Amino acid sequence: MLTRLNQRFSSLLFSASPEVPTGLPATKRTMLAAINNALDTVLTKDQTACVFGEDVAFGGVFRCTDGLRAKHGESRVFNTPLCEQGIAGFAVGLASYGVTTIAEIQFADYIFPAFDQIVNEAAKLRYRTGGQFNCGSLTIRAPYGAVGHGGLYHSQSPEAYFAHTPGLKIVIPRGPVQAKGLLLSSIRDPNPVLFFEPKAMYRASSCDVPDDDYTIPLGKAEIVKHGREVTIIGFGLQLLSLDKAVTRVEKELGITCEIIDLRTIMPLDMETIEKSVKKTGRCVIAHEAPRFGGIGAEIAAKIQEECFLHLEAPIGRVCGWDTPFPLVFEKFYYPDENRAYEEIKRIVLY
């Protein structure tokens, strides 16, 4: 995985987004530096905002919170005990008081002790209280995804478990520019947001990230490449494999592909997806998470509901196999550019 990243950096991962104003003063930043910058921005502008989690104080195991405690103080940037359910519960309570609350779960693989607090509490607080209370100022960040050697418990993509819960928003950036803009939007969105960061991207490379405060809207997918013959949908690090697969398939089959970065998993931007599939008539969805019950299944169901008469082929999916995420077998497990190429070709030639 990391080798693939080092060999060739995808222009898609390091591209800007149309919502980001051009010509702004910018600095070369990796994804983790962009995230750090976003957190710094929030802590500077909102004097009671808090960032906390395990090992957050010294900068975090991935350095995302580096320097924040020294700059903003120990009452606002602090360590919690090693207890995800405590982190999440504490965060829900603090957010329900109106404090801008940014909690970190060290790995998405360890988010499950917090599942009850996220799914039964955070997601439902506004709803069940008749709007009297809410924890809209809550954001939970967690590194997710394959990293090359993570195995079962340092590689998971848990977005599907949470997408099945009404009341949550789920946001996943593909690159440094999106990480900053989407994280700022997530923090400011008046609903609890889960922000999953593709950890393989943290230090992958850097690109210009505007220094100013800017946001990328939630609930809006981005067409990162326009095309005519097939719609390819992905998010996060998958944009790298898809970029490579698409380059090959366009050359070999003489077609053009439209690539959509979802950016927000929940709520989905079906308008952009439907418009694209009605144009192309074909679709392939990619994600690292296991095939069964993954986000691809929901998107495929919705596409065939809304675009049935426009479809020229079944909707393809490139996903992890329905196994836990293995270590030595990662290369066989991971939906990479070759698997994506084969699936796109299959759907285009159907």
Partner 1 sequence: MLKVLLRSMSYSNSLSFTHPHALSIPTFQVINEDGLPNSSSSQYLSSVNKDLLTRMYKTMIEVQEFDTLYYDLQRQGLISFYMQNSGEEGLQVATAAALDLNDWIFPQYRELGVFFWRGFSIQQASHQLFSNVKDLGEGKQMPVHYGSKDLNIMTVRSPLATQIPQAAGLGYGLRLKKQNSISVCYYGDGAASEGDTHAALNIASTTKSQTLFVCRNNKYAISTNMKDQYGSDGIAVRGVAYGIHSIRVDGNDVIATYIATQEAKKLILEGPQPVLMECMTYRRGHHSTSDDASRYRNKEELEYYQKNNNPIIRLEKFLKHMGWLDFDPVEIQKETRDRIIKAKDIAKNEKLPRWEVMFDGVYNELTPELKKQKGELKKFLEIYGDKYEINRHS
Q: CB of residue 177 vs partner 1: minimum separation in angstroms?
A: 25
- Looking at residue 292, the DSSP 8-state letter turns out to be T
Beta bridge partners of 233: 260, 285
Q: Which is nearer to partner 1, 87 or 245 (CB)?
A: 87
Which among 54, 72, 84, 337 is annotated as catalytic?
A: 84
128: Cβ contacts below 8 Å, ≥ 6 apart: none
CB of 19: closest distance to partner 1 in angstroms?
18
Supply φ then ψ for residue 103, to 5 degrees.
-100, 145
CA dihedral 56, 287, 200, 108 (to 10 degrees): 20
Binder of partner 1 out of 27, 166, 312, 350 (CB under 8 A): 166
* 84 given a catalytic annotation: yes
132 binding partner 1? (CB under 8 A)? yes
**Cα 192 to Cα 199: distance, rounded to the nearest angstrom:** 21
94 forms part of the interface with partner 1 (CB under 8 A): yes
Residues 256-295 that bind partner 1 (CB under 8 A): 267-268, 270-271
Other Cβ atoms less than 10 A from the Cβ of 117: the count is: 21
Check if 54 is active-site.
no
**Strands 169-171 vs 138-144: parallel, antiparallel or unpaired:** unpaired
Strands 207-210 and 26-29 turn out to be antiparallel
**Helix 295-307 and helix 270-280, axial crossing angle in degrees, nearest 10:** 60
What minimum distance in Å lies between the beta carbon of 338 and partner 1?
Answer: 34
Q: Is 127 among the residues that bind partner 1 (CB under 8 A)?
A: yes
Catalytic residue among 104, 121, 154, 258: 154
Q: How far is the CB of 288 from partner 1 (least distance, A)?
A: 24
Q: Which residues bind partner 1 (CB under 8 A)?
A: 48, 50, 75-76, 78-81, 83, 85-99, 101, 113, 116-117, 120-121, 126-134, 136, 166-167, 169, 190-191, 219, 267-268, 270-271
Q: Which residues are catalytic?
A: 84, 154
